[in-house]
Structure 1
Amino acid sequence: MFLKRPILLLLILTLFTGVSLRAQIATSPDMTWFKDAKFGLFLHWGLYAQTAGDWNGHPYKGNERFMLYERIPVKTYAKIADQFNPSQFNADTWVKQAKTAGMKYIVYTSKHHDGFAMYNSKVSDYNIYKLTPFKRDPLAELAKACKKYDIKLCLYYSLGRDWEDPDVPTNWPVKAGRSNTWDFPNEDAKVFNKYFERKVKPQVTELLKNYGPIAVMWFDTPELISKKESAELRGLISSLQPKCLVNSRIGNGYGDFGISEQSLGAASKNSWEACITIGRQWGYNRHDSTWKSPELLVRNLINVVANNGNLLLNVGPMGNGNFPNWAIARLDSIGDWMKVNGEAITGTRPYRIASEGNELESASISKKDENSKMKDAIYDGTPKSREADLFFTTKDNYVYVLLRSWSRKDFDIKSLKGVDVASVQLLGTKKKVGWKTTATGLTVSLPDDYALINKVPVYTLKVKMK
């Protein structure tokens, strides 16, 4: 593999001048599509979908990480592949489901912590094409479907953890805390760079060469990757696909956007993304029965977007290749809401103030507590409040006022005090909205039947500025 001359020169400069590669890349990828997209689908799918929550006759610990929690040898874990035959997998169905929900991109797990590649990897036979009866490359089919439906394809790759490889040390939460020490017990003998050269770089190369345009390389758990290795990996990606974005988990400051996992995060001027689950788990688990309602998921989406973020909502497909019914129902509900209100989400930017009337929820999100730390077990730090409040986004000459969990016909919007308003419209109806500007803000009176517009009690006022 030969690097393009500009990237090669940048790497040389990095080595001899100490100047970071990230600062040197003059042609940093355009973030516009990401900032406009706002909403994406995360897909956690692997051998853990086949076991679906059980191991040796008992519900396992750790869900998609159960190989670690149950300390299962690689040879034993690999036997799950003998039964993994997702014959009902249909890439068109998955991508259409995302598009119908109003999502603009998909992040697919090309390799999770178990080291098992969910595509036809020439680098390692430990993959879905070589070891399972399925004998298909789902990533190739997804790439084709994403192109068909104009959905951006992004790829998750577990960077600092790989329990199939003998050379992957970890240091979270303690030394060897997330390493395979039952197959490979000598932690001090593990050399991350051997794994990096043998598996990471070659697999990232084939992912970026063989599946068309990749919008984001979405890395997870950087663990012990060095600054030099992060720089080299970023240079490799830039040489193969200059437009490809990279998340912050490439490590050492070489990412384009930050990540908030299982929490909504706080407002930031920089691009960021909140990744959350619908239920309690990332991968499919038949025992999971704690699912966020469509109303709560829409509230989460609005909160993130109003604070300059994207929401990456996770679904764990089943072992047969289908989405769980409860996930489909929620994606459909969000899609129905987005058909009416999507213009207040997609392509918007933050208003000068994010919200009004949700001080308690905002305080819980902003608080620097356990939410900001890496989590490896079942955890959900998203707010569960259903109190009525207002959020704001803006696009062109409009301010969108999103009324979350709303049940009032007449009210004041204090945050629009002093704003020169030309008109006010309620999305989803042609009926007139009563309004007037006052010394305290914008006074609004909704149509009597406004609650019939959406099944989810979240409504949008489109306020045009003069």
Structure 2
Amino acid sequence: MKRFHLIIIFSFVTLSLVAQKKIEKPSNSLEWWSDSKFGMFLHWGLYSQAAGDWNGHRYKGNEHFMIYEKLSIKEYSTLASDFNPMLFNAEQWVTMAKDAGMKYMVLTTKHHDGFAMYNSPSSDYNIVTKTPFKRDPVKELAEACKKNGMKLGFYYSLGRDWEDPDVPTNWPTKGGRSNLADFPNEDIKDIAKYFERKVKPQIRELLTQYGPVAVLWFDTPELITKAQSEELLQMIKTLQPDCIVNNRIGNGLGDYYVSEQQISKDANPKPWEACITMSRGWAFNRHDNEWKSPELLVRQLVEIVSKGGNLLLNIGPKGDGTFPPEAVERLASVGKWMKTNSEAIYDTKPWTLTAEQVSSKTLAGAMVHDSDSDTTSKTILPDIYFTSKGKAVYVIARSWTDAVVNVKSMTKDKYKVKSVHLLGSKSKLDWKQSNDALQIKMPKIMTNTIPVYVFKVILK
């Protein structure tokens, strides 16, 4: 009998260790994500309906304006009665992402306001129950993604929820991002109740109602405990083993690291993703006119990929369900560039050198301040970045205007170059390699609308 008990105890310990190892080990599904390099982030919710104004004045905080304006749930939820995005077309959203060269999409299913943008049986504070729209956009988006071969992921605000009475926060100070208008006493809040009542049921819903989920993109873990992060991750891997999870599930867990509104200073061998806005803010705001140019967007994509990362580029759809025309135009321009040059982006790895002749600044490590916190460099000066695949090295000349591209790191004494050609061009290139540099003469006629040129260099 004692031996039998020992066997049971040993088996239990072994299973526990296996389960723990399973949590800590990155998902094998990370391979598709690492090869994809480029995805679309979508911040869409009740805040999109407000679009920058509240009670006749311009609000602060963008998608966080409920807290900045100190609104109660009753006041804020009046937006739901007018939220009727009849122009929402999931097929169009997916097509625009696909044509731009993106391989996956991540939609805000529940932001900090606590409002679910899907049919949530566990909470009637959702788009189907509370708005005249009455449709489930996540269901429609899942169907469109499946049809078009697009991976779909879900954003979920984990440690902030302004609709729930039991969610304390500690950033930047105690109660700093809590709904104090409705729930002013931080000391009586019990995050365990919120975790059991809302988080677990809603994550289960997202993983069981819409087919395969490629990514669960958590945000703001705040005061979520390590045990809760572990339990949540174990549930995810049990329900959908191939679903990958970002590090914002909290407490050192997750498959990859997120760099928000900044680009890593150096190449990083570990999986990482930069989530960056196309304009200033995350959500649509009629007052936001700080749109990045297509050239700058491509420059940022190249820099991120050359450093081993993915770019999750954010779009803020309007309250009616359409994309701002500025976003549509930029997606089309980036897509045109990707159609010619995606070989240097997809399924590539950093080369031995990230870049040379770098003139632009990267402000890595800057403090993130809610919605308006883009610290990425806006400088546009000529430079060269590299990606690689097998024996090919892609020399990417950003914003290039000179007649010759001098690749100083590819000297004859270090590398033997077999061939060089410009992606998207059938013209034969004039090039020569010396002990000083690999010199590539730019073709006289260039048709690119974005002056970022990719030379495929095959090494012997």
TM-score (norm 2): 0.94
Residues 16 and 32 (structure 1), Cα distance of their counterparts in 2 relative to 1, 3 Å cut:
closer
Distance 1:390 1:209 in 2: 45
| Residue 393 of structure 1, aligned match among 375, 387, 392 | 387
Gaps in structure 2 of 5+ consecutive residues:
1-8
Equivalent-residue separation in structure 2 for 1:316 and 1:16 (angstroms): 43
User: Partner of 2:419 in structure 1?
Assistant: 423
Write the letter of the residue equivalent to 2:392: Y
Q: Can you list the C-alpha shifts for 1:292-327, whole angstroms capped at 9, x where unaligned?
A: 000000000000000000000000000110000000
Paired residue for 1:3?
Answer: none
SS in 1 for 2:165: coil
Corresponding residue for residue 156 of structure 2: 157
C-alpha deviation, 1:42, in angstroms? 0.2
Greater mean deviation of Cα atoms: 229-238 or 377-386: 377-386
Tell me what 1:453 maps to. Answer: 447
- 5+ residue gaps, structure 1, are 1-8
1:212 deviation in Å?
0.7
Aligned pairs for 1:8-87 within 5 A: 21=20, 28-87=27-86
| Residue-by-residue CA offset, 1:95-120 (whole Å, 9 max, x unaligned) | 00000000000000000000000000
Counterpart of 2:346? 346
- Cα distance in 2 for residues equivalent to 1:277 and 1:14: 45
Matched pairs, number: 449
Summarize the Cα distance change of 1:22–1:51 in structure 2 as closer, same or farther, 3 Å threshold.
Answer: farther
Deviation at 1:13, TM superposition (A): 5.2
CA distance in 1, matches of 2:442, 2:239: 53
Q: CA deviation at 1:378?
A: 1.2
Deviations, residues 404-423 of structure 1 (Å, cap 9, x unaligned): 00001213201222211111
Distance 1:26 1:355, change over 3 A: closer
Please give the residue correspondences for 1:52-451 in structure 2 after superposition, counting only pairs within 5 Å.
Answer: 52-266=51-265, 267-358=267-358, 361=361, 364-366=362-364, 368=365, 371=366, 373-417=367-411, 418-449=414-445
Residues 42 and 24 of structure 1: CA distance in aligned 2, closer, same or farther (over 3 Å): closer
Distance 1:42 1:317 in 2: 10
- C-alpha spacing 1:230/1:132, structure 2 compared with 1 (3 Å): same
Report the Cα distance in structure 2 between the residues aligned to 1:279 and 1:360, rounded to whole angstroms.
Answer: 19
Tell me if structure 2 keeps the 8 A contact 1:22–1:231.
no
Summarize the Cα distance change of 1:108–1:83 in structure 2 as closer, same or farther, 3 Å threshold.
Answer: same
Q: Quick check: 1:160–1:168 contact (8 Å CA) kept in 2?
A: yes
Q: CA deviation at 1:27?
A: 7.9
Is contact 1:428-1:453 (8 Å) kept?
no
Tell me, in whole angstroms, the C-alpha distance in 1 between the residues paired with 2:58 and 2:282.
16
Q: Aligned pair in 2 of structure 1 residues 173, 20: CA closer, same or farther (>3 Å)? A: farther
Q: Give every structure 1 segment of 4 or more consecutive aligned residues whose post-TM-superposition deviation is greater than 6 Å.
A: 14-17
In structure 1, C-alpha distance between the alignment counterparts of 2:93 and 2:124, rounded to whole Å: 26
For residues 141-177 of structure 1, give each alpha carbon's deviation from its aligned partner in whole angstroms, at most 9, with x where no partner exists: 0000001111100000000000000000000000000
Shift of 1:395: 1.2
Deviation at 1:33, TM superposition (A): 0.4
Please tell me whether the aligned partners of residues 274 and 309 of structure 1 are also in contact (alpha carbons under 8 angstroms). Answer: yes
Deviates more, 1:149-158 or 1:434-443: 434-443
Partner SS for 2:381: coil
2:175 and 2:39 map into 1 onto residues whose CA distance is: 33
Deviation at 1:441, TM superposition (A): 2.4
Range that drifts further, 414-423 or 136-145: 414-423
In 2, distance between residues paired with 1:429 and 1:219?
42
State the distance in 2 between where 1:455 and 1:157 align.
37
CA shift for structure 1 position 43: 0.2
Q: What CA deviation, in whole Å up to 9, does each residue of 1:313-360 have, x standing for no partner?
A: 000000110000000000000001001111111111111111111155
Deviations 1:349-394 (A, max 9, x none): 1111111111552xx345x4xx2x3321412101011110000001
Partner of residue 3, structure 2:
none
Q: Is the 8 A contact 1:39 1:104 kept in 2?
A: yes
- Residue 441 of structure 2 aligns with an amino acid whose one-letter code is S
2:458 maps to 464
Rounded Cα–Cα distance in structure 1 between residues aligned with 2:23 and 2:211: 26
For the 8 Å contact 2:406–2:438, the answer to whether it is kept is yes
Q: Secondary structure at the match of 2:164?
A: coil
- Residues 29, 244 of structure 1: 8 Å contact kept: no
Report SS of the residue matched to 1:214.
Answer: coil
On the 8 A contact 1:14/1:21 being kept in 2, the answer is no
RMSD: 2.0
Asked if 1 retains the 8 angstrom alpha-carbon contact of 2:23 and 2:234, the reply is: no
8 Å Cα contact 1:389-1:406 kept in structure 2: yes
1:406-460 Cα offsets, whole Å, 9 max, x none, are 00121320122221111100111111111111112211112111xx231011100
Distance in 2 separating the partners of 1:158 and 1:110: 8
